[in-house]
Amino acid sequence: MAGLILKSPYYKPKSRDRKSGSRGGMVKYIGTREGVEVLRSGMAGYVNARRGSNGLFTDEGETINMAAIMKEVDEHPGNVWCHIFSLTREDAERLGYNRAEEWMNLLRSRRNDIAREMGIDPANLRWYAAFHQHPTHPHVHMMVWPKNPTEAYLSKKGIANIKRFMAQDIFRQDMISVYREQTFVRDELKESFRSQMETALNSVTKGEYTTDLTMLLADLSDRLKITKGKKVYGYLEPKTKKVVDAIVKLIASEPEIEKLYDLWYKYQCDTYKLYTDAMPEKIPLEENNEFKSIRNTVVKMASGFTLPPPIMMDKNVDRLYRQGRRQISSGDADAGIRSLAEAAEYDPWCRMQLAMAYDHLGDRESCLRELRRAAEEYEPARTLLDRVERNQNPYLFNCAVNLLYYAGRMLTEDTENVAPVVRQGVDSKLAREIWAKDHGVRMTM
């Protein structure tokens, strides 16, 4: 059960109530019924202590005239609402809401917010309330109506919002304690996330691409090297954002991160329980804006390290490869594909670059076709193809193919004497092959 209970019935003109009769009679009923607490000039008492007294209160400085209020309510042409805020006796005693004065101060401080949630101009709000000392659930009745009868309406969302901000005030100290614990867990999760990133980046720096995470990080690093403008998540192109999201999702699946996120969510539910029985949806970490700084952590760390040294290829193949990449970059995709296809006839590595070009152009079918052809004569291509075909994650498919080179698309015409670079392999076997070669040099086939 929620810590604060709120009911908000409304009464139409001419409505009749079994206990109080008319709407005006309801005002009298809540202001004079047994257990109502009377406030006069700062002195608290009970209605039976003084003949003709009542427990109504409203805005500061307003005169309480029971007969006039009853008449106004009875003659009001629109609906009249009666909010009933209730606490358990234990919570009321513990938090100080076991007396009329605290409720009066709270309602006065929140009357404008209540008015806005009801579609009422705060200047037009009319309200009167009374506190009742019930043995098990002390509560306050707040009757509300507008001066302009066409203004007021109250939706389910409005009721939920009123309940939320009232509970936040009543349970302020409880919430501060929960928020403190939740903040501690959030910071611990971020630190653990950063540690997981550092471990994975160390593997990438060594040329070890044995996990999906290291593949994604290598791909992201390459993308960021040619990213113009601010290197923050919000400014990245959609494809790069998807790689970042995939990285966050993978790290979020680690047991330590999952445990901390579960604890963070528990604290989130603890705050909701103070005013509702409906718990918040547990959205994935990578989609939770409370942790959006994690995405920028990924971007910052991935852009701040250097991939391993490249391997080299034949100069003629190099020329065709560069030409194809330039043509594609300049918008002549057909010519670029032809150049890469010609290079592919001489070198299966270039056929893998052709596959990558098809992937960037959105032709996955052709990408897989060329990758399969390369796999017929080149062991790394077979290793890559096997990994690609077994992995259903499209982002990992892209980065797995991307790992075949990490700077080729950055080469320009004035780097004629620099051989194009190739990304390290996608598993430990391929990494050992590359690093076993003298200075990373691969002879032409």
Which DSSP string do the residues of 216-284 spell out, in sequence order? HHHHHHHHHHT--S--SGGGS-HHHHHHHHHHHHHHHTSHHHHHHHHHHHHHHHHHHTTT-SSPPP---
Distance CA 256, CA 111 (A): 45
| pLDDT surpassing 90 at residue 193 | yes
In a shared domain, residues 225 and 141: no
Query: What's 329's domain CATH number?
Result: 1.25.40
Place of tokens 């670079």: 421
In a shared domain, residues 149 and 232: no
DSSP secondary structure code for residue 52 in this structure: T
In a shared domain, residues 150 and 56: yes
pLDDT above 70 covers a percentage of the chain that reads: 78
In a shared domain, residues 279 and 213: yes
Task: Extract the tokens encoding 47.
Answer: 């209605």
Task: Extract the tokens encoding 162.
Answer: 């009123």
Phi-psi group of 35: left, alpha or beta (phi > 0 → left; psi -120 to 50 → alpha; rest → beta): left
In a shared domain, residues 329 and 393: yes
Number of Cβ atoms within 10 Å of the Cβ of 368? 18
* Counted domains in the chain: 3
What are the φ/ψ torsions at residue 428 (nearest 5 degrees)? -65, -35
pLDDT at residue number 416: 38
| pLDDT surpassing 80 at residue 281 | yes
| pLDDT surpassing 80 at residue 389 | no
pLDDT at residue number 208: 57
pLDDT at residue number 306: 60
**pLDDT higher for 53 or 186?**
186
Any domain includes 98: yes
Any domain includes 308: no
In a shared domain, residues 162 and 178: no
pLDDT at residue number 121: 96
| pLDDT surpassing 50 at residue 443 | no
Any domain includes 127: yes
| pLDDT surpassing 60 at residue 432 | no
CB 302 within 8 A of CB 217: yes
Burial 227-241 (b: 16+ CB within 10 A, else e): beeebebeebeeebe
Which of 255-259, 302-306, 374-378, 409-413 is the most confident on average? Answer: 255-259
Asked which of 136, 170, 204 is the last residue of a domain, the reply is 170
CA 8 to chain centroid:
31
The closest alpha carbon to 288, from 182, 165, 418, 416, belongs to 182
| pLDDT surpassing 90 at residue 97 | yes
pLDDT at residue number 211: 65
pLDDT above 90 covers a percentage of the chain that reads: 46
In a shared domain, residues 26 and 132: yes
pLDDT at residue number 394: 47
Any domain includes 393: yes
Q: Which strand (E) or helix (H) includes residue 172?
A: helix 172-205
Mean pLDDT (the chain) is 80
The mean pLDDT value for 121-147 works out to 96
The mean pLDDT value for 340-366 works out to 82
pLDDT at residue number 277: 83
In a shared domain, residues 22 and 155: yes
Express each pLDDT in 404-431 by its tens digit: 444 333 333 333 333 333 333 334 334 4
| pLDDT surpassing 90 at residue 123 | yes
Distance CA 342, CA 321 (A): 9
The mean pLDDT value for 167-180 works out to 93
Any domain includes 235: yes
| pLDDT surpassing 70 at residue 402 | no
Which structural domain range is residue 319 located in? 315-440
Asked which of 237, 270, 302 is the last residue of a domain, the reply is 302
**pLDDT higher for 214 or 297?**
297
Asked which of 170, 193, 221 is the last residue of a domain, the reply is 170
The closest alpha carbon to 130, from 72, 18, 46, belongs to 46
Any domain includes 307: no
Express each pLDDT in 30-84 by its tens digit: 999 888 998 764 333 444 444 457 899 999 988 899 999 999 999 999 999 999 9
Query: What's 53's domain CATH number?
Result: 3.30.930
Burial 128-148 (b: 16+ CB within 10 A, else e): bbbbbbeeeebbbbbbbbbee
- Half-sphere exposure for 227 (CA within 13 Å, toward CB): 24
In a shared domain, residues 94 and 159: yes
pLDDT at residue number 355: 81
The closest alpha carbon to 279, from 266, 294, 262, belongs to 266
pLDDT at residue number 49: 41
The mean pLDDT value for 257-280 works out to 92
In a shared domain, residues 10 and 94: yes
Any domain includes 309: no
Any domain includes 445: no
Q: What is the pTM of this model?
A: 0.61
In a shared domain, residues 149 and 187: no
In a shared domain, residues 154 and 195: no
